[in-house]
């Protein structure tokens, strides 16, 4: 399954978002559709939401694909009619969204199969969504399929058990929901009256989802291996902070060719974290593997190693080539590096005008980030000053 971008780009304001959407950036188009749907920072317009989700989906944004599929399944955006119901197109977009890495789409796919009374397909979609990706709502729906014998062998008690398991992972379970399950499925549940009871249900869900993630990683799912490694880096309620385990999973995914894992492994070697002593040469090799797959952060870091001669012999011409690629993806730090190289004629022909344009653009983009381009520019300027003082 394809990897979703782990960090979606943030936009400074609605004008910046509109500009990026009109320039054809799928992520921006999807976010603009959401802004129109919610009336967030812009006048609510459900038709425009539908329009931009369509643009984003056609451009490859997996989240927008799922939202578009929802619209075709119901014909509505926030309970207002915008298009005729088209279940065939809904199925098409749900499948594309799931194939592009947005596994939430499997729940919608199960729903639309239910509408078509294709219960076997519905049960299969809910089961995969629940037990492979840990979606609680899908677990509930699968339990109901088992209870009724819709698409699977009927087993009333097993269905009740699955429905109860899903309900006991719902921290926001309502009195209405409790009554519905009791009357229709014979599932009796006590309400979570206390904050402690709600917390227990939330922890049960997190444990279930982590177990699903671990199984996927163990089975060789690269996406799950990388996500598991990130969880061990940051820690959390259901998994400890463990850099050794993070390094293990990054290495496993990196050796299988995953670009993000290769970059993260490079960072571990670069910093000396986890089981590694600092090894700049190995760091560069991993950065290069990821850069050769056009992984943006790796393009920048491989370029930095070549520019500074860290872990590899300095090569300004090759460094500039990496920075040029990353700059095309609007990476601010790479723009600064390339700008300074163009300013000084390092590895490239001098071009003061383009140098200024790149650096100005990087600093402008920094306003939407955390100031890394500004810090990088200060460091490079300071290095130049130090070098000049030594010559004197």
Q: Are 152 and 123 in contact (CB under 8 A)?
A: yes
**pLDDT, tens digit, 9 for 90 and up, residues 104-131:** 999 999 999 999 999 999 999 999 999 9
Instruction: Report the C-alpha gap between 251 and 259 in whole angstroms.
Output: 11
pLDDT at residue 105, rounded to an integer: 97
User: Which long-range CB contacts under 8 A does 224-227 form with residues at least 24 apart?
Assistant: 225/249, 225/250, 225/252, 225/253, 225/258, 225/261, 226/3, 226/250, 226/253, 226/258, 226/260, 226/261, 226/264
Mean pLDDT of the chain: 90
At 131, give phi and psi (nearest 5°).
-90, -20
Q: What are phi and psi of 115, to 5 degrees?
A: -60, -35
> Which domains are present in the chain?
1-102 (1.25.40.10), 132-187+194-218 (no CATH), 220-293 (1.25.40.10), 307-385 (1.25.40.10)
Contact in structure between 377 and 343 (CB atoms under 8 Å): no
**CA neighbor of 63 nearest in space, from 87, 28, 89, 39:** 28
pTM (two decimals): 0.84
Terminal CA-to-CA distance of the chain, rounded, Å? Answer: 58
3-state secondary structure 289-320: HHHCCCCHHHHHHHHHHHHHCCCCCCCHHHHH
* Residue 89: both structure tokens together: 């197109």
Whole-number Å distance between alpha carbons of 271 and 273: 5
* Residue numbers of the chain with a pLDDT score lower than 50: 1
pLDDT digits (tens, 9 = 90+) for 14-53: 888 999 899 999 999 999 999 999 998 899 999 999 999 9
Interatomic CA distance for residues 260 and 251, integer angstroms: 11
pLDDT at 274: 57
């Amino acid at each position: 399954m394809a990897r979703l971008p782990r960090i979606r780009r943030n936009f400074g304001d609605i004008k910046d978002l509109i500009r990026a959407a009109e320039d054809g950036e799928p992520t921006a188009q999807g976010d603009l559709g959401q802004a129109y749907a919610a009336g967030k920072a812009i006048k609510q317009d459900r038709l425009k939401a539908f329009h931009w989700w369509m643009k984003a989906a056609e451009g490859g944004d997996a989240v927008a694909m799922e939202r578009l599929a929802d619209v075709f399944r119901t014909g509505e955006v926030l309970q207002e009619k915008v298009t005729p119901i088209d279940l065939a197109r809904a199925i098409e977009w749900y499948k594309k969204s799931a194939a592009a890495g947005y596994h939430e789409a499997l729940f919608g796919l199960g729903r639309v199969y239910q509408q078509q009374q294709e219960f076997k397909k519905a049960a299969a979609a809910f089961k995969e969504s629940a037990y492979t990706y840990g979606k609680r709502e899908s677990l509930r729906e699968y339990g109901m399929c088992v209870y009724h014998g819709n698409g699977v062998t009927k087993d009333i008690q097993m269905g009740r058990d699955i429905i109860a398991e899903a309900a006991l992972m719902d921290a926001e379970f309502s009195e209405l929901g409790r009554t519905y399950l009791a009357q229709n499925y014979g599932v009796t549940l006590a309400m979570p009256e206390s904050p402690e009871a709600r917390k227990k249900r939330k922890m049960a869900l997190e444990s279930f989802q982590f177990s699903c993630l671990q199984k996927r990683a163990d089975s060789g799912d690269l996406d799950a291996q990388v996500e598991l490694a990130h969880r061990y880096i940051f820690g959390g309620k259901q998994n400890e902070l463990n850099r050794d385990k993070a390094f293990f999973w990054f290495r496993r995914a990196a050796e299988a060719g995953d670009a993000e894992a290769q970059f993260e492994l490079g960072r571990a070697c670069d910093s000396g974290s986890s089981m590694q002593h600092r090894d700049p040469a190995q760091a560069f090799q991993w950065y290069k593997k990821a850069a050769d797959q056009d992984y943006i952060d790796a393009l920048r870091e491989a370029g930095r190693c070549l520019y500074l001669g860290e872990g590899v012999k300095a090569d300004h011409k090759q460094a500039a080539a990496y920075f040029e690629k990353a700059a095309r993806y609007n990476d601010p730090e790479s723009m600064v590096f390339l700008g300074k190289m163009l300013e000084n004629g390092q590895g490239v022909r001098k071009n003061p005008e383009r140098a200024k344009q790149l650096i100005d653009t990087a600093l402008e983009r920094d306003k939407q980030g955390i100031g890394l381009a500004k810090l990088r520019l200060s460091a490079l300027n300071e290095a130049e000053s130090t070098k000049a003082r030594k010559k004197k």
